[in-house]
Amino acid sequence: MFRYKEDINPKDLEMLQPALWILITRSMLYCAEHKLPFIVTSLISDRENVQSKSKTHEQGRAADISTLGWTETHIHRFQFLMNRWYSDIAAISMSKNQPIAALYHDAGYGSHMHLQVRPNAKWQNFIKE
């Protein structure tokens, strides 16, 4: 089930880049498969007080999801799979200089999974007819 924190503006969903929806959908499927909670904790409008070098959220290219209730194994497996499967659309990490689709980290507000895509990602390659 797709859930988001109460302070997220639902209009932000309309501003997300199409490629990001690929990562969000795959994340939901992973959570459903492993019976894990899936909650979007950050998109665009709720980021006013967040100091970040990256503008991925502001550009509709990133979403944060809660990992509360996930085991360490699930966190690492999810991160590994997402980065392997979606490197073609993943944003290039500033610190690692490589594509990163899913990054588990704490940016000062608690640990979470950060999903991100590059600008103008060729998401059509992931749609099967």
CATH of the domain at 90: 3.30.1380
Asked whether the predicted pLDDT for residue 21 surpasses 90, the reply is yes
Nearest to 59 by CA among 10, 122, 17: 17
Could you give the 3-state DSSP secondary structure of residue 19? Answer: helix
Look up the domain containing 20 and give its range.
7-44+54-124
Burial class (CB in 10 A: 0-12, 13-18, 19+), 113: buried
In a domain, 49, yes or no: no
Between these two residues, 89 and 44, which has the higher pLDDT value? 89
Helix axes 72-85, 18-33, angle to 10 degrees: 140
What residues have CB less than 8 Å from 67, skipping those under 6 apart? 74, 75, 104, 111, 112, 113
In this predicted structure, the answer to whether residue 48 has a pLDDT above a threshold of 80 is no
User: Which whole number is the average pLDDT over 4-19?
Assistant: 80
* pLDDT score at 67: 95
Give the chain's count of helices (H) and strands (E): 2, 7
At residue 128, does pLDDT exceed 60? no
Domain count, the chain: 1
39: in domain: yes
In a domain, 71, yes or no: yes
In a domain, 84, yes or no: yes
Confidence class for position 31, pLDDT limits 50, 70, 90? very high
In a domain, 129, yes or no: no
- Above 90 in pLDDT, residue 83? yes
What's residue 93's pLDDT? Answer: 82
Q: Does the pLDDT of residue 71 top 80, yes or no?
A: yes
**Mean pLDDT, to the nearest integer, of 80-96?**
91
Query: Is 1 part of a structural domain of the chain?
Result: no
Given a cut of 90, whether residue 23 has pLDDT beyond it is yes
Q: Is 77 left (phi over 0), alpha (psi -120 to 50) or beta?
A: alpha
Q: Quote the tokens at residue 43.
A: 């998109």
